[in-house]
Structure 1
């Protein structure tokens, strides 16, 4: 069962076979008349009209759901739109083949329609990169509960400079799922996911920098580390730097996939900001061998989590000296500004304006030793202008700022993986882990 759940669905044999089967099914429906009652010319006309009609429906739905209703809070790429339209073209042809057909061929047409829908969904997922395996698509986590037992760093713990990896140090880090209670905030969070680098798994570990990472919305805490492969990038970095890499904690800033608390304290969705800046850091200091002094803690995330990172990183320079914002927004958002002010800020327009990262940066400038990494997909037409503006604002506020633009990607996991890989190196080097 575990083997099946781990099968990849963004590349590899399953994707290729699915595409070939869908192509073969489409050709078969097109060349075979449903029954003898159809004249060849009549079937050709009906199949063409049905296929075109299906494509028009698909095109209309992409316009309605994305461009008109803004259901996804991101622009659909041409590839995604193409797959949706192609899926409806196939379904239209399958529906037409059921008419005047025998029951056996009707069942075959229904199965073909299901195949077209599944193939289109797979094509969309390949472009977006959200679900790399069957298990992730089913919402089944690959992260084990609990953390491996680790030694506590004592007063004689080695420093980063003096650290020498022991012979029995693991070659890779470890992931685990843990509960971080909202003791002060009262915020109800789903289990967090923690990454411990190889150096943290030794008998006399050093105290290490901490990077708090957040998913987008909807999303799960494991997404940055697993789906967007930050865990793999951390292992690669550690392999080149004596087993050293940041400890990464990915808490749940949402509470539920369908809620956006906007990383603020509010009566609407709970005290998310206090949870992330008080409860989570307290748990990290209590349970992990993290550095205790300021100057080596960071906060990051993707999409909604990226917005949170810019907010909290700018608001709390006493806690964070590193920000990693992948495709975040200019301000917390529930949709339109009017809706956000009314529902998220209780109608207080001034509070909404003050919560924007740019406003927070202005209020706390100048920043003395903060590194900020902003990244976005080159084709992400909706979020790219905001990221460019935030990078400019951070630079003006005194932060050491880096801007990453990933070619041929949009608001998707392909962009976030590269932003995380490059951003991790910049931030870890800033903390001195490359010595």
Structure 2
């Protein structure tokens, strides 16, 4: 039951059919109902959909042209269902019929939510809705200190020098941790850390590579767990490689849920680039004893605005993140209102200060012979697929060893979770774990 799909198969189909039937029930009033209440409810639903579009795309910039338009129809239906509820209760007799009317309105609302989830796959299964229940208990520092006190002095762990112990766990563990911004002053929310079976085995003594995973907006560090199947992907890879997988760090990019996200830039909003390039690696090396052998052990990957962040860090800190995976990233950091508003709110109008950090500008003036990366976009994601092309071209021109791949899918978690699983062998070769 926990692995029942919420995005494919019979369940979402059944929810949609029930929602359609429920809407027909709400519309099945008599002549009196259709003189006033029925038309007003439908007009109100249409107005609600238009209002949602205006707020989402014109005022606040919640979504862009990749947002599936069919969801506005579902949103309008949900608003209409709520508006039709009261007049239907008034004109419907009997307790059972009135309860059925309330249930019908709720079903339409659930149908709208289900369709949004089908489009973006934010919760692919029933179990993904309760991902936090799988978090490990206890302190990660106790686990790391007990097993990896000497990790900082041993060579990088690879498939060639690793011998799995008899007590190798069957799966990794996920911890919710605080990674302080000692140098940057960044006020980070809680991060998530995945420790693979090889890290948890016996007395430890591993020096594993580190993969920093960047979430998008909307979203948070836990999105990679609930929506991206990260633990399953890492455990699956580890099961095929004697328990070996990277230590995965999922930091918070929202500054603890701030209204104005720092966009992986050092700006007047926050020094989030320094946080990700200095504070996070220092904490990982000191606390976890991972990625201490050489810079090749470090990689960064992200999706959507997190893909943009990935490219920012790869361009500005190639000595920290010489390996990257940019999935559906933008051409440059974006806020609603465009570059004009970004320059005003983040750099007090200073174009030069922004250009010094913007990946596309940095790639134009520097060379990166030691950087290896990959760009992945969905075949049906016209907007972000096009936005990535100039960054890819600039990366190639700057000497990066990069490739661009199109994958089946759009701008959603189906694409990103599948892409991460598919690219794991490539990533682990690049990070020196596999050959």
Name the TM-score class by shorter chain: 0.7 to 0.9
| Distance change in 2, residues 1:327/1:424 (3 Å) | same
User: What is residue 376 of structure 2 aligned with on the other side?
Assistant: 375
| Distance change in 2, residues 1:28/1:63 (3 Å) | closer
Match of 1:56 among 20, 28, 46: 46
Aligned-pair CA distance for 1:432: 3.3
Are the aligned partners of 1:315 and 1:364 in contact in 2 as well (CA < 8 Å)? no
Residue 196 (1) aligns with residue 195 (2): yes
State the alpha-carbon separation in 2 of the partners of residues 255 and 277 from structure 1.
15
Which string of whole-angstrom CA distances, capped at 9 and with x for unpartnered residues, describes residues 188-237 of structure 1?
A: 11121111112111234421111111211232212124421222212222
Once structures 1 and 2 are overlaid, which stretch shifts more, 418-427 or 209-218? Answer: 418-427
Alignment of 1:39-50 (within 5 A): 39=31, 49=39
User: What is residue 68 of structure 1 aligned with on the other side?
Assistant: 58
Tell me the secondary structure at the aligned position of residue 382 of structure 1: helix
User: What is residue 388 of structure 1 aligned with on the other side?
Assistant: 389
Alignment of 1:139-158 (within 5 A): 142-144=134-136, 146-147=139-140, 149-150=143-144, 151-152=147-148, 153-154=150-151, 155=153
RMSD, aligned α-carbons: 3.1
State the alpha-carbon separation in 2 of the partners of residues 139 and 64 from structure 1.
33
Are the aligned partners of 1:332 and 1:355 in contact in 2 as well (CA < 8 Å)? no
Are the aligned partners of 1:253 and 1:263 in contact in 2 as well (CA < 8 Å)? yes
Aligned-pair CA distance for 1:98: 4.1
Question: How many residues end up aligned between the 2 structures?
Answer: 422
User: What is residue 165 of structure 2 aligned with on the other side?
Assistant: 166
State the alpha-carbon separation in 1 of the partners of residues 199 and 282 from structure 2.
18
Tell me the secondary structure at the aligned position of residue 295 of structure 2: coil
User: What is residue 337 of structure 1 aligned with on the other side?
Assistant: 339
| Distance change in 2, residues 1:69/1:22 (3 Å) | same
Aligned-pair CA distance for 1:63: 3.5
User: What is residue 25 of structure 1 aligned with on the other side?
Assistant: 22
Are the aligned partners of 1:224 and 1:301 in contact in 2 as well (CA < 8 Å)? no
State the alpha-carbon separation in 2 of the partners of residues 93 and 195 from structure 1.
48
Are the aligned partners of 2:53 and 2:72 in contact in 1 as well (CA < 8 Å)? no
Which string of whole-angstrom CA distances, capped at 9 and with x for unpartnered residues, describes residues 4-23 of structure 1?
A: 9x986445776455445434
Residue 129 (1) aligns with residue 121 (2): yes
State the alpha-carbon separation in 2 of the partners of residues 414 and 395 from structure 1.
28
Residue 428 (1) aligns with residue 428 (2): yes
State the alpha-carbon separation in 2 of the partners of residues 345 and 244 from structure 1.
43
Aligned-pair CA distance for 1:423: 3.2
State the alpha-carbon separation in 2 of the partners of residues 26 and 238 from structure 1.
48
- Higher RCO structure, 1 or 2 (CA under 8 Å, sep 6+): 2
TM-score normalised over the length of structure 2:
0.86
Which runs of 5 or more residues in structure 2 are unaligned? Answer: none
User: What is residue 272 of structure 2 aligned with on the other side?
Assistant: 272
Which runs of 5 or more residues in structure 1 are unaligned? Answer: none
State the alpha-carbon separation in 2 of the partners of residues 281 and 311 from structure 1.
16
Tell me the secondary structure at the aligned position of residue 189 of structure 2: coil
Tell me the secondary structure at the aligned position of residue 122 of structure 1: helix
Match of 1:83 among 71, 74, 77: 74
The structure carrying a bigger helix percent of its residues is 2
State the alpha-carbon separation in 1 of the partners of residues 101 and 190 from structure 2.
44
Tell me the secondary structure at the aligned position of residue 249 of structure 1: strand
State the alpha-carbon separation in 2 of the partners of residues 99 and 353 from structure 1.
62
Residue 119 (1) aligns with residue 111 (2): yes
